[in-house]
Amino acid sequence: MDPSQVQSDKENETNSLEGEGTTVSGDEKSAPNDPATSNGDGAIDARDSSEVHSLPANNTAKPPFFKRIWQKFNIYLLLFALVILIAVGITLGLFLKNRSDTKKSESIVNSQNLSDSALKQLANSDVTVGNPKQVLKVESNALFSGSVLVRGDLEVAGSVKVGNELQLPGITVSGSSRFNQLQADNLTIGSNATVQGTFNAKKGINVSGNSTFDGLLSAAQISTNAFILNGDLKLTHHITAGGPTPSIERGGALGSGGTSSVSGSDTTGSIIVNTGGSPGAGCFATIQFAKRFDGTPHVTITPIGSAAADIKYYVNRSSTEFSVCTTNPAPSGQTFGFDYIILN
């Protein structure tokens, strides 16, 4: 190819080292777009590549800042930074794990196992094993022929079986308990008590406070100082009124040689009258109560026998006594009586 000819194809213009801003050092000047100069004899002298300096054009734009920074990074520098981050993460994880293990080890009590020689030593002498911060583990069964003294608290994870009597100065049960048979010389219940089965008391029950029975109360005998019934009283058997027998005072209506007697109690009873000669009007007898009533009681009298049929009887009463009287004389030499019921 003739170097004196200027090629006009775009490919050569693009690949050419000379452009609009090319400057040639030396005495001779050439056109800006001329890649070579001619000497005196017409030959083309190629310029040394070292003498050609390519200068950027004034209107060329610089690349973005982040792009220039990114071009300066090296892939090895990125790998180095990644290794540093991994190392820091591993170090931090090991530090946190070590700290957690330290806390766990502080909360765990040291334990100590018994060897065969230690067991033999315990069997033949009085020794101290370990310290209060340690735990003594006995994995096999243990038999204590003598007494066992526990100075601190006794905690049992499993069930407790006692083959003989269990003597305790005091016992506090916070949860539910079940006893197949419980014998107590003196049982005090500070709160509520629930008995799901039958409650048998052989020597009686003393209740100082109020009691409530939602179901049937069956008792061969109930003794109480006061019985207050808020509902109806239903009785399927006889009513027997007990208590001491009151005293009796003879009245003037009995006549000469007449007598009277009383049987029963302050609540119910009978008065037997035996008239003598020439009985008159007045009272046959005065009954004095064994126990004074709080107020004047209600006295109901029923005559007994045909001799008392024509007697016009009446009653005088007070909180301490009552009298059976008549307004007309009773027949002489007759025996009759009066039944009484007294309610306050």
Give one DSSP letter per residue of 103-131, joined into a string.
HHHHHSPEEEEPPHHHHHHHHHS----S-
> Phi and psi of 161, rounded to 5°?
-120, 125
Over residues 32-75, the pLDDT tens digits come to 444 444 444 444 444 444 444 444 445 556 667 666 666 666 67
Q: Is residue 96, in this structure, part of any structural domain at all? A: no
Q: Is 253 a member of any domain?
A: yes
Model pLDDT, residue 37 = 42
Please check whether residue 312 lies inside any domain of the structure: yes
Q: Which helix (H) or strand (E) holds 53?
A: strand 52-53
> Is 31 inside a domain boundary?
yes
pTM of the model: 0.43
Q: Are 114 and 137 a contacting pair, CB within 8 Å? A: yes
Confirm whether 47 is domain-assigned. yes
Continuous segment of H or E residues that includes residue 338: strand 335-343
Residue 118: predicted pLDDT: 72
Q: Which domain covers residue 312, as residue numbers?
A: 247-343
Domain count, the chain: 2
- Spell out, as residue ranges, where the chain has pLDDT lower than 50: 1-57
Does residue 294 form part of some domain? yes
The answer to whether residue 171 is domain-embedded is no
CB atoms within 10 A of CB 127: 8
Query: Which pLDDT score is estimated for 7?
Result: 45
258 is a domain residue? yes
User: CATH no. for residue 305?
Assistant: 2.60.220
Per-residue pLDDT at 274: 95
Supply the pLDDT for residue 245: 95
